[in-house]
């Protein structure tokens, strides 16, 4: 099958280009990461991130035939019609909107800066109990669908609002994490957290187009989390 990969080495290339490779998959429905490994055997100058190779670490987020996803858990049959059969090329590009360091490797600094802003840790000033801070099963359920985020950046880098204002709009990943702590019964910083979100950019730049939901490899729903934060802000202010 044909594989077309975005190549850019700032030390040797004046500008990025797409390089084509021919890979023999034996007709198997391999994962995109397996195909990348086969390409790497042909051309070891091609760079990409990978680690756990099972959708847990979030290292190999990339744009696969126009849609962001994790290479390790995206089978060829799920990329685009005709790719598995070899009728169409597999097209791999880096995550959009972030600066490219080299080939498929992007600089995630802007993404992590926004993650840091939402203070993604439990804030509770009451004395620490001997064993642990208890939570009712009902309260624990409220953070299901939130804590599972692996910070692969597939959602934020598919969001036009994040492309245009990556320094001001927190992006779906950071906002999902923000709600993860707002919804946590053990966290006491609700008011301070909400106070940092009611400006015109941090949260309200979300226009609800739900690209984040359609690409999340863990099946999470940042748009819904953003909606919940909006409701909390409204309740607090009205």
Partner 1 sequence: MVTSVTSLGRNGLSDWLVQRVSAVLLAIYTLVVLGWLIAQGEVTYEAWSGFMGCLVMQIANTFMIVAVGAHAWVGLWTVTTDYLTNRQIGAAGTVVRLIAQLVIALLTLVYVLWGLVIIWGGA
Q: Where do contacts with partner 1 occur on this chain (CB under 8 A)?
A: 160-161, 164-165, 168, 195-205, 207, 230, 233-234, 237
Residue closer to partner 1, measured from CB, 165 or 188? 165
Residue closer to partner 1, measured from CB, 85 or 107? 107
CB of 157 to partner 1, least distance (A): 15
Residue closer to partner 1, measured from CB, 25 or 119? 119
CB of 166 to partner 1, least distance (A): 8
Neighbours of 104 (CB within 10 A): 25
Residue closer to partner 1, measured from CB, 120 or 160? 160
CB of 112 to partner 1, least distance (A): 18
CB of 207 to partner 1, least distance (A): 8
Residue closer to partner 1, measured from CB, 37 or 123? 123
Q: How far apart are CA 218 and CA 114, in angstroms?
A: 20
Residue closer to partner 1, measured from CB, 59 or 223? 223
The values of phi and psi at residue 192, to 5°, are -65, -40
CB of 152 to partner 1, least distance (A): 24
CB of 61 to partner 1, least distance (A): 22
């Amino acid at each position: 099958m044909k594989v077309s990969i975005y190549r850019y080495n700032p030390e040797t290339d004046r500008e990025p280009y797409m390089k084509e490779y021919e890979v023999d998959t034996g007709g198997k429905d391999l994962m995109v990461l397996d195909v990348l490994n086969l390409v790497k055997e042909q051309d070891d100058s091609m760079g990409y991130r990978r680690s756990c190779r099972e959708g847990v670490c979030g290292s190999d987020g990339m744009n696969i035939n126009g849609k962001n996803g994790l290479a390790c858990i995206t089978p060829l049959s799920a990329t685009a019609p005709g790719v598995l059969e070899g009728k169409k090329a597999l097209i791999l590009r880096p995550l959009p909107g972030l600066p490219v360091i080299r080939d498929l490797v992007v600089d995630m600094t802007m993404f992590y800066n926004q993650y840091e802003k939402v203070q993604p840790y439990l804030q509770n000033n009451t004395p620490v109990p001997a064993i642990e801070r208890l939570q009712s099963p009902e309260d624990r359920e409220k953070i299901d669908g939130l804590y599972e985020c692996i910070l692969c950046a597939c959602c934020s880098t598919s969001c036009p609002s994040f492309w245009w204002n990556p320094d001001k709009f927190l992006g779906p990943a950071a906002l999902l994490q923000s709600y993860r702590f707002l919804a946590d019964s053990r966290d006491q910083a609700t008011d301070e957290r909400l106070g940092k979100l009611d400006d015109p950019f941090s949260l309200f730049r979300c226009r609800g187009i739900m690209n984040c939901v359609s690409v999340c490899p863990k099946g999470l729903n940042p748009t819904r989390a953003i909606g919940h934060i909006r409701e909390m802000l409204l309740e607090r202010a009205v």
